Structure 1
């Protein structure tokens, strides 16, 4: 989505005095997928940052060596490799007193999950866990899968983006299995607590619904029983972005899924995402994704009619 990725070497914007620095995902160019994978060294010095910061992207870190602690939303979590760390966009984190920190990172924005939108909910739950440690034997499987993602990302063979999406889906599902049974030190309340966090969480679930993509911030606030101002403060504190921006991104994801997985015409997709004017929808879609609806469909089409229960064209 717009504003979540930047070209390599782009400096982080200077935050306001009351804001935590926001890191965006570096990608090779306009046509490159919003994804990166590699070791801590390969990703760069910010991957080990000791200064609290936020991301516009998800991060899955498989820590295989090192000591110290990982601090997420003020909760200090001692490192005990091998272990997995999952971060969602907006979480404040840093590495504290790390010694020889090593492992593999997988970084991706929310729109990279267009083929498997259910993974967003799994990732949100995983990000709330204080520790994820693979059992003996399972650590090797996770390591091999992470290595496959890195190799595919580096080689960029034909159709590599589709392979990356599939491998990432497998990784998310396998990691979610590790979180089914609470282990020592695993707590569900690792994210910020209190009513603002609860409101932000409810808003996140709300915008994941089909109907919400056409709602305004005011309409969402009314359904949550809060004022638009309170909703804006709560969501910005939790994610670093405004509810309006998140609604736009949800609208774009919905359009991407319909274009990729149904035979609905562009006019029909526009109507189902709240646009009465297909031309305006096309301008909106190009602004948010960098591609026209037709171009996006050409490269991502995987028709699955059950999403809408019909295939007629307007």
Structure 2
């Protein structure tokens, strides 16, 4: 299938005119396989929590590691691959200007035998940022991942006013992704970036370990202050904040996907004391672990 270079369509508009609507937001766990070539009428953010994936578009294959996302623009031909076993995804379909009415999959995925050109959504542009479609693969900071997870929760449970909440959360996600264009690594971050990213991946795999600053500094063979500065330059947040974000994300996943008790989950993510775990969870999420589990299982 030949790529149509007409897409993505773009519209220059001030930020106050951006009004994203969410068409789909969901977690998935998939086994290794290659999906079919496709085009979308809307846009998709596909974040890899765990495992490895790849996307081929515009003649280039992009590897997507855990902690990264791919931006799939409307109208652009692409093919996704699941590379590693049990790869966990978070997917969000959206538009920038509340353009598309969605009633089924046929409103999201293009049927090449019956293309409807009027349905292709436009990508919003605003200075001083380049279009997000210029950057196929991005590494969002933990705060951005947290916003995406909140959005999935709102979209799944659909409490009163969820459309407004999803719109606000999506604007937050877009702003953080746009800001990545101007994020500058600190001195030495490029030299040590691969080592720090490898350590971040290890924290993701083993959140229950005692990831103190002294331990991280020892692992990277540098003093604590220097380690903390370089870690923040690479991760976008301080080491302690990154560890808390990873633990909280894993706790939410276990509450959604397992029947483990709150105490067992706390231990698995690094909090041996149930009351401390519950207090930290409530502070970050606004509800207790038990309440979060109930809300996540409404649908």
Could you say which TM-score interval applies, normalised by the shorter chain?
0.3 to 0.5
After TM superposition, the score normalised by the length of structure 2 is: 0.43
Instruction: Tell me which of the two structures has the higher relative contact order, counting C-alpha pairs closer than 8 angstroms and 6 or more residues apart.
Output: 2
After TM superposition, the score normalised by the length of structure 1 is: 0.41
